Amino acid sequence: MAVEAWTGEGDGRGPPARPAVVRPGGDARPRLLFLVTEDWYFWSHRLPVARAARDAGYEVVVATRVAEHGERIRAEGFRLVPLAWDRGTRTPWAALAELSSVIRLYRQERPQLAHHVAIKPAVFGAVAAMATGLPAMITTLAGRGFALSGSGPLPKAAGVAVRLVLRLASLGRRSAVVVQNPEDRAWLKAAPAVPGVRLIAGSGVDLDRYVPLPEPDGPFTVAQVSRMLSLKGVEDAVSAVRRLRAEGLDIRLLLAGASDADNPAAIPPGQLAAWAAEGGVEWLGPVADVRQVWARAHVALLASRGGEGVPKTLLEAAACGRAIVATYVAGTRDVARGGVNAVLVPPGDPAALAQALRLLATEPGYRRRLAAASRRVVDPAFGDGHVAARTLGLYSRLAGPSVTRMLAGR
């Protein structure tokens, strides 16, 4: 049931919230469970919201595949449940085993509210909600990604399936689906329409940590911070820089991000190394603190071919005061605004990308005007505090009156 239609507990239109977990000493907290595919994604995109929920009085449980961020997550006071799954499930039997593990998890944890983040957790979490009688859930779709992008028959069929599962899971429980851009909201409203859709733009950026940086000295340098995927247009970025260097422009390209072998659109490390060997391209791999990248770059680049929510990498670049060159695709254009702080080009067009880069390389005054505007675009509208507050308000509406009273009494 969409959150708009829910007015209370025990009125026959949805299940009441489950009783809170009571621990020795009388500590009772409502349980909020995050279902996320990767621990690094939780850490980079959901941490401010989880901290806000913890501080509001929720017991926060994070269920995810654990790689490198497990101890950090535990150190925040969150309980971590490792999952033996990944985004690259290849067979129906493996998917069924993973789904069964999520259902068992929900039966064991019995959360008052679950937050499903990204496509696979959205689908598996919705099925688990229906199987276990979960009273309330929120789903965040930060873009449609590889599987649901494009206009071919397979992405269309997958989209119908995802919307149908989310629609069925909304029946009989308090639910909402959060998207980051208007195009994804319209996609969810196509038949079979999903009720309870909310727009919260972006995952937020720490405006105290990411602050305007001076332009670097040296050759004109652009940087793309993203996973190294064809869907992110990495090949187009390399092609554009090749064109400009062939014309005699001294331009450097920094590529920061992992290859992401679980994604079918991944660019092999060997190819990235080969590009770097040509000169003019430097592949940095994953970078723990991307402020170091923006300190080296005059311009932020994202040559994405689609499937974005609102790219956090561009939020961070804009907060650091960088002009942007990006493709005109959903989500990206919400933070990269043509003629304001960015130059926008069609996706999949290296020649147009090269032209935009040439403009900012040869017109430093214009580039600096765009850079100054970038900070104003994100501050305060895309700040992580703003995003966390809106999400926490949605939690309160979904969790039900008994949970709200419990949190108010702490």
Predicted local confidence at residue 16, as pLDDT: 45
User: Is the backbone peptide bond immediately before 380 cis, with ω within 30 degrees of 0?
Assistant: yes
Predicted local confidence at residue 5, as pLDDT: 29
Same domain flag for 57 and 83: yes
Residue at token pair 């069964």:
100
**Residue 96, in any domain of the structure:** yes
| CATH code of residue 78 | 3.40.50.2000
Same domain flag for 72 and 171: yes
Q: Among the residues of 117-211, which ranges form H helices? A: 119-132, 145-148, 153-170, 182-189
User: CA-to-CA distance for 363 and 57, rounded, in angstroms?
Assistant: 52
**Strand order through the sheet with 113-117:** 79-82, 59-65, 31-38, 113-117, 136-141, 174-179, 197-199
Beta-strand relationship, 21-22 and 28-29: antiparallel
Is there a contact between 186 and 28 (Cβ–Cβ < 8 Å)?
no
User: CA-to-CA distance for 319 and 309, rounded, in angstroms?
Assistant: 18
**Residue 312, in any domain of the structure:** yes
> How many residues would you count in the chain?
410
**Residue 211, in any domain of the structure:** no
Predicted local confidence at residue 145, as pLDDT: 83
Same domain flag for 159 and 232: no
Same domain flag for 239 and 190: no
Predicted local confidence at residue 12, as pLDDT: 34
**Residue 166, in any domain of the structure:** yes
Q: In angstroms, how far is CA 321 from the centroid of its own chain?
A: 21
Predicted local confidence at residue 410, as pLDDT: 62
**Residue 212, in any domain of the structure:** no
**Residue 40, in any domain of the structure:** yes
User: CA-to-CA distance for 264 and 117, rounded, in angstroms?
Assistant: 20
Predicted local confidence at residue 41, as pLDDT: 94
Same domain flag for 183 and 237: no
User: CA-to-CA distance for 163 and 166, rounded, in angstroms?
Assistant: 5
User: CA-to-CA distance for 188 and 159, rounded, in angstroms?
Assistant: 9
Which tokens sit at 375? Answer: 């900070």
Same domain flag for 308 and 373: yes
324 closest CA partner among 305, 304, 307, 306: 304
Same domain flag for 121 and 249: no
User: CA-to-CA distance for 300 and 215, rounded, in angstroms?
Assistant: 12
Same domain flag for 279 and 399: no
Which tokens sit at 405? Answer: 């009273």
**Residue 337, in any domain of the structure:** yes
Same domain flag for 395 and 372: no
**Residue 210, in any domain of the structure:** no
The amino acid sitting at 51 is R
User: CA-to-CA distance for 351 and 346, rounded, in angstroms?
Assistant: 10
The amino acid sitting at 205 is V
Predicted local confidence at residue 89, as pLDDT: 64
Q: How many domains does the chain have?
A: 2
Angle between helix axes 384-399 and 47-56 (nearest 10 degrees) is: 50
Same domain flag for 45 and 174: yes
Predicted local confidence at residue 7, as pLDDT: 28
User: CA-to-CA distance for 112 and 107, rounded, in angstroms?
Assistant: 12
pLDDT tens, the chain, 410 aa long: 333 322 233 333 344 444 444 444 445 799 999 999 999 999 999 999 999 999 999 999 999 999 999 999 999 999 999 999 876 666 888 999 999 999 999 999 999 999 999 999 999 999 999 999 999 999 999 999 877 877 789 989 999 999 999 999 999 999 999 999 999 999 999 999 999 999 999 999 999 999 999 999 999 999 999 999 999 999 999 999 999 999 999 999 999 999 988 788 899 999 999 999 999 999 999 999 999 999 999 999 999 999 999 999 999 999 999 999 999 999 999 999 999 999 999 999 999 999 999 999 999 999 999 999 999 999 999 999 999 999 999 999 998 877 877 777 66
Structural domain of 340: 220-378
Same domain flag for 125 and 185: yes
Q: What is the pTM of this model?
A: 0.89
Same domain flag for 187 and 287: no
Burial class (CB in 10 A: 0-12, 13-18, 19+), 337: middle
